[in-house]
Chain A
């Protein structure tokens, strides 16, 4: 084969490769758009974003596998001028497996933003994964409020919905979420326990 022909064909092959790669990226983007629910959505700047599972396990006050059993309206927080309101709800979970932290009576209460505001508008916020569904189970990484009785999710890395025996993360682009995403529940729990052993220096006694 002549050198000139070879170089031309090589450039064409490279352009084909770039095009295919870009098309896959575009298709993925379009698929994301097609799946976009036509509901209000939200994005958050989380106080803490973890680089790995160990950081999250160490940071969480409580880690549980729990079943959502109830959702109740909670407080309403107002902006500094009072013209904007943000409703909260309290979700009760029956603890199925307590991996870290204490929960006295086997029920844990998680507060999150969402619900009905002071003007009667439904506020749907899904930066944390959206509304919990009563009856469904979740692996949750939680912190306890300093000034209240409730827990809150550490961030969007800290929630995994159990579906078909597997864990489903919130952010499919996040490295920590992807460590758990699609894993069988037992495998995910084992990962958390092993991480807890590591960050606590091998003291794996369940609380």
Chain B
């Protein structure tokens, strides 16, 4: 083969490889900044009421594909909210805010989350337009944010996709990312 032809092929291969390598960068971008808890054992306070209490527990700890058994994270239930190494979950009527749920890192130390809060907005979620699956998707996503994950619009099988409400569980990509963080 002539060298000129070989070089042309190599340029094409290099370009294709650059294109195909982009998903690796995207993989990293599904992490939310540098935020993480100190280690994989996190105090879990479920301060929700009614079925929202069940929804949070299912998404965090009891469903087979919930955050705690599905990933390396271990959630230890505690009886009061806390601000040292805590993921706290609440529900309430927060009004017309535009959001169904919100995850807040209330206090951090460097990149270490000390006090994370997940909130579900009943002003919308209780208006009859949202199924239990939808509510579980929101709860799953807010809890996932607290652990350090960003939105992921590239997959319809993860609750970290903020454009759908029908995937109330983390997927294997989330699990791999969480396990690489902790």
Contact = CB atoms under 8 A, between A and B. Distances in A.
Interface of A: 1, 3, 6, 9-10, 13-22, 24-26, 28-29, 32-33, 36, 38-49, 75, 77-81, 83-84, 86, 88, 111-113, 121, 123, 125, 127-128, 143, 145-148, 152-155, 173
B99 A47 contact: yes
Contacts of A28: 25, 28-29
Contact of A78 (B31, B88, B92): B92
Contact of A29 (B29, B93, B97, B151): B29
B162 interface: yes
A75 B96 CA distance: 12
B96 A146 contact: yes
Interface of B: 1-3, 6, 9-10, 13-22, 24-29, 31-35, 47-50, 52, 81, 88, 90-108, 110-111, 117, 119, 122, 124, 137-138, 141-142, 145, 150-151, 162-163, 165
Contacts of A145: 95-96
Contact of A22 (B14, B15, B21, B106): B21
B13 to A, nearest CB: 5
B49 to A, nearest CB: 4
Contacts of B20: 17-18, 21
A9 B33 CA distance: 37
Contacts of A173: 29, 151
Given A1-B1, A80-B48, A80-B92, A45 B100 contact: yes
Nearest to A9: B10
